Structure formats: C-alpha cells, structure tokens
C-alpha cells in the first residue's frame, strides 16, 4: 500500500470531543485525591507508631523508677556484735569412766576344777569370807605324801644318831687298845673313819628333815590356796567363774571375782587434753554428769593429775583423778561420765566474742582484681589479741578500725579483755559477708 492509499484513512479518524477531555480531567483529579489520602494515612500510621513508642518509654521508665524507689538498701558487709560486761567462768571439760575408789581383783594361785562358789553378783562380803573352792584332792594327796616322807626322814635321823653313838664307842675302844699296844694305828684310823661317816649321815638326815619340812609347808600352803577368801570388805561387782569350771594359773592368775570396797566413794579417770592440762590443779572442784541421770550433777574434787601420757591416734591426754561422793549409789562402775572442772572465774568484766578475736578482714582488691598493698598489722605479744571495731555503719560503706587488746580467761564463747579495751556497747566485727556481683536482669 502506498501513501495515496493511507491518506484517506487518517482523514477518516474523528477529532477528540469535549466530553472526552472532561473524563481525562476527572481521572487525573481522582488520582491526585487518592495520593492525598494515601499520604494522610501514612502520616497517621507514623503518628500511631510514635505514640506507641512514647507509651512504651513511659512504662519502662516508670518500671525502673518503681524498682529504684522500692529497692532495699545495700546489704551490710560485716556482721558485728557488741562488747559486753559479763561474768566469765573458764572450764575444762573431759570424759572418763566411773570406777570404785578401791577395787580388788581376786584370782586363783593354783589350777584345778571349781567345786563350789559361795558368792554371786552384788553379794556383800566381809574380809575372810569364803568365795569359792577348788578341788583339793590332788593337793591333799601331796600333803600326805610329803608328811610320810618327813616321818621317814625323822626315823632316819634317829638311826643316824644311834650309828654315831656306836662308832664313837668303837673309836674310844680302839684308842685305848692302841695305847696299851694291843691295837694298831690302822684300827684307830678305821674307827675314826666310821665315826666321821656316821656323823655325816646324821647331818644329811637332819638336812633332809628340813627339806621335807619346807616341802610339807609348801604343800599345805598350796592346799590352802584351793579355798579362795575375800581380801577386803566390799561388794562383788563381777564373778567370772562357775562350779565345774577349770581354772589354769600356769602363766598368770585368772581373775575370778572383782570386789569394790565402798561404792559410796567413786573415782573417775578424766582424760584431759594436753592443751588444757596446764590449767588443772589438785583440789579443784568438779561437776560430774552421767547419761543415766539427766540434769543431775554429782560433786567431786580433783585429787591427782598423772604425768603418764595417753597417746590415742596422735591425741595426747593426761588422766586427772576425780573423787566423787556417791551416797545414793547412783553411780555404777563403768558408766561414762562428763567432768567439768572450773579453773578460773571473773565477774563483771569487759568481754568480747571469741569470733571477733578470730576475725581477719579479706584483702582489698583493685578494679582488675589484684590485691591492694596493705600496711602490716601490729605485732602481738603473748597475751594480746586483735579485733576490728565498726566505726562507720553506713550500709555498703562500712569502715572498720583495728584494735589490740590484752586477753584474759575465756569460757569458749566470750573472752575477758584487760588494759584499755573498747567501751561496752562498741560493735566489733565477727564475720565478713562475701560480696555478690549481679549482672543485668530485666526482672
């Protein structure tokens, strides 16, 4: 198709009318209105977001403000206690076993079978009372045999005496005949020898009598040992033998009975620790308690402090003998007793808690956690102690000050101080609480 053909076609298109122009304007106005509404809505969204942020900020600020207002004060760094005026009684406490003041173990010196037992537990006996009897048959036979031998030896002595008299007469006759020239010197010598032998036989017979007499005395004594008697007046607290039982005393004497002389007087061997034995003196008063009589105290007195040490797994103790009155016989042998000995007493003295004397402040550290050099503490003498007085009680910023005092007696909780001690009512530090560092937390 050529240009002549296309021309009629463009000439045939109608020109835009006025109505079409008005529609385009309306569309443009609608677009602009839509854009204004969109801009207005965006501004409202941002305004709403800002309002929400402001409310959140107010809530968070109010929460932290409330926490700050209601937060408790910082905890105290130190635990303290006040110095007081009080009475202090220094005591030493130990344990020991109750035993009779005088206790005798009765044994057997000969071996044999027990045929009779005359005493039982808790039997009251007198000195010389028969307690038990061992079968005397063998020992009686020994006495009879030795007695017969002694009788025979006495007869031998009489025979030896007759022999001496006979040989003496022969010797005299031989000497007279020799003097008359009838007998020879050999006859005299023979008679002299016979006489000397007879005298020696007489001496041997007499010696045998002495020997057999001693043997008879020994046999009779052994026979007497088969009867066992009480060596003292007292009460049988233990019986270790029954009729028919055989006792053997080959190596050591077996204990058959234990007799306590007087249970109204008891004794306690209290084991005193080596750190406290220097405080104990004889004639000090002591209080004794036993588990069997709760709350009841028995009065005693220290009568002896032994020098012999007792070493039990490295713990060294010394026995203190405490005599205790037992009029009602409540204390029994073998009971475990707790002994309290009052060694010193001070009334109305200035006293500090022992925990304050043991307290030592923790070393201060810098921001990097390294110890800060501190001045050297004062050197203490033998009877001095160190404590720290609380001079500023502001929570979280407390200040303490070192004090050196002269210490006295202690009851284990409080210690008396002398010299120039802090005034009663002064707070002294007994413990330092560990600091707690807390990290960030929302709630």
Query: Is residue 9 over pLDDT 80?
Result: no
pLDDT attached to residue 74:
65
Q: Please indicate, yes or no, whether the overall pTM of this predicted structure exceeds 0.75.
A: no
pLDDT in tens, 253-273: 788 999 998 899 999 999 999
Q: Count of CB atoms within 10 A of residue 366's CB?
A: 8
pLDDT in tens, 268-283: 999 999 999 999 999 9
Query: Is residue 67 over pLDDT 90?
Result: no
DSSP codes joined into one string, 301-357: EEEEEEEEEEEETTEEEEEEEEEEE-TT--S-TT-EEEEEEEEEEEEEEEEEEHHHH
pLDDT attached to residue 424:
87
**Average pLDDT score over the chain:** 84
Average pLDDT over residues 115-143: 93
- Residue 268, strand partner residues: 98, 322
Would you say the CATH fold of 261-345 matches that of 105-132+233-260? no
Count the alpha carbons within 13 Å of 180 in the hemisphere toward its beta carbon: 7
Average pLDDT over residues 419-423: 76
For the 105-132+233-260 domain, the top CATH level (class) is mainly beta
Three-state secondary-structure class, residue 397: coil
pLDDT attached to residue 284:
93
pLDDT interval class at 379 (50, 70, 90): confident
CA proximity to 223, closest of 146, 151, 138, 127: 138
pLDDT attached to residue 31:
65
| Residues contacting 377, CB < 8 A, separation 6+ | 386, 402
Three-state secondary-structure class, residue 112: strand
CA proximity to 194, closest of 218, 167, 214, 169: 167
Task: List strands edge to edge, sheet with 130-134.
Answer: 227-229, 130-134, 112-117, 246-247
8-state DSSP, 365: B
Q: Count of CB atoms within 10 A of residue 337's CB?
A: 24
Query: Is residue 442 over pLDDT 50?
Result: no
Q: Are 410 and 90 in contact (CB under 8 A)?
A: yes
Q: Pick the more confident residue, 133 or 72.
A: 133
Average pLDDT over residues 145-169: 90
pLDDT attached to residue 144:
93
pLDDT attached to residue 2:
42
pLDDT interval class at 99 (50, 70, 90): very high
Average pLDDT over residues 77-96: 90
How far apart CA 376 and CA 364 sit, in angstroms, is: 14
pLDDT in tens, 11-49: 444 444 555 556 667 767 666 776 677 676 666 677 677
How far apart CA 57 and CA 9 sit, in angstroms, is: 73
Query: Is residue 360 over pLDDT 90?
Result: no
Q: Are 424 and 82 in contact (CB under 8 A)?
A: yes
- Counting residues of the chain whose pLDDT is more than 90, the rounded percentage is 44
Query: Is residue 10 over pLDDT 60?
Result: no
- Counting residues of the chain whose pLDDT is more than 70, the rounded percentage is 84
Of 197-201, 220-224, 344-348, 430-434, the poorest mean pLDDT is in 430-434
Query: Is residue 218 over pLDDT 80?
Result: yes
Arch. (CATH architecture) of 261-345: Beta Barrel (2.40)
Of 43-52, 358-367, 378-387, the poorest mean pLDDT is in 43-52
Domain boundaries, the chain: 39-71, 78-87+350-432, 105-132+233-260, 136-225, 261-345
Average pLDDT over residues 121-126: 92
pLDDT attached to residue 14:
46
pLDDT attached to residue 439:
45
Query: Is residue 206 over pLDDT 50?
Result: yes
pLDDT interval class at 191 (50, 70, 90): confident
- Which string of b and e fits 12-25 if b means at least 16 CB within 10 Å? eeeeeeeeeeeeee
| Residues contacting 442, CB < 8 A, separation 6+ | none
pLDDT attached to residue 362:
80
pLDDT attached to residue 140:
92
Token readout for 329 is 């016989």
pLDDT attached to residue 34:
67
């Amino acid at each position: 198709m050529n240009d002549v053909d296309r021309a009629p076609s463009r000439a045939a298109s109608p020109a835009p009318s006025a109505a079409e122009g008005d529609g385009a304007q309306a569309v443009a106005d609608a677009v602009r209105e839509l854009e204004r509404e969109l801009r207005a809505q965006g501004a409202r969204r941002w305004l709403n977001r800002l309002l929400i942020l402001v409310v959140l900020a107010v809530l968070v600020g109010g929460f932290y403000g409330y926490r700050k207002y209601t937060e408790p004060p910082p905890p105290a760094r130190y635990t303290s206690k006040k110095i007081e005026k009080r009475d202090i009684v220094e005591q030493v406490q130990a344990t020991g076993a109750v035993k009779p003041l005088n206790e005798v173990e009765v044994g057997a010196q000969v071996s044999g079978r027990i045929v009779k037992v005359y005493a039982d537990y808790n039997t009251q006996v007198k000195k010389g009372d028969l307690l038990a009897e061992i079968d005397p048959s063998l020992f009686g036979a020994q006495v009879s045999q030795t007695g017969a031998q002694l009788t025979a030896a006495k007869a031998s002595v009489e025979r030896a005496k007759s022999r001496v008299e006979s040989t003496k007469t022969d010797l005299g006759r031989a000497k007279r005949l020799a003097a008359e020239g009838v007998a020879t010197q050999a006859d005299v010598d023979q008679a002299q020898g016979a006489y000397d032998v007879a005298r020696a036989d007489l001496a041997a017979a007499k010696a045998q009598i002495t020997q057999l007499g001693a043997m008879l005395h020994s046999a009779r004594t052994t026979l007497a040992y088969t009867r066992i008697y009480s060596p003292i007046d007292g009460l049988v607290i233990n019986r270790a033998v029954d009729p028919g039982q055989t006792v053997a005393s080959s190596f050591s004497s077996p204990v058959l009975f234990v007799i306590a002389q007087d249970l109204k007087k008891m004794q306690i061997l209290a084991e005193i620790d080596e750190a406290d034995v220097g405080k104990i003196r004889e004639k000090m008063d002591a209080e004794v308690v036993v588990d069997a009589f709760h709350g009841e105290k028995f009065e005693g007195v220290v009568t002896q402090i032994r020098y012999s040490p007792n070493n039990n797994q490295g713990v060294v103790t010394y026995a203190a003998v405490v005599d205790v009155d037992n009029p009602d016989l409540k204390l029994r042998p073998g009971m475990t007793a707790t002994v309290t000995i009052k060694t010193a007493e001070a009334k109305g003295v200035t006293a500090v808690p022992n925990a304050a004397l043991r307290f030592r402040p923790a070393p201060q550290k810098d921001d990097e956690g390294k110890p800060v050099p501190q001045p050297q503490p004062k050197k203490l003498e033998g009877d001095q102690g160190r404590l720290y007085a609380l001079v500023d009680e502001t929570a979280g910023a407390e200040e303490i000050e070192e004090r050196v005092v002269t210490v006295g007696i202690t009851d284990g909780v409080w210690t008396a101080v002398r010299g120039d001690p802090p005034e009663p009512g002064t707070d002294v530090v007994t413990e330092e609480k560990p600091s707690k560092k807390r990290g960030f937390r929302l709630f």
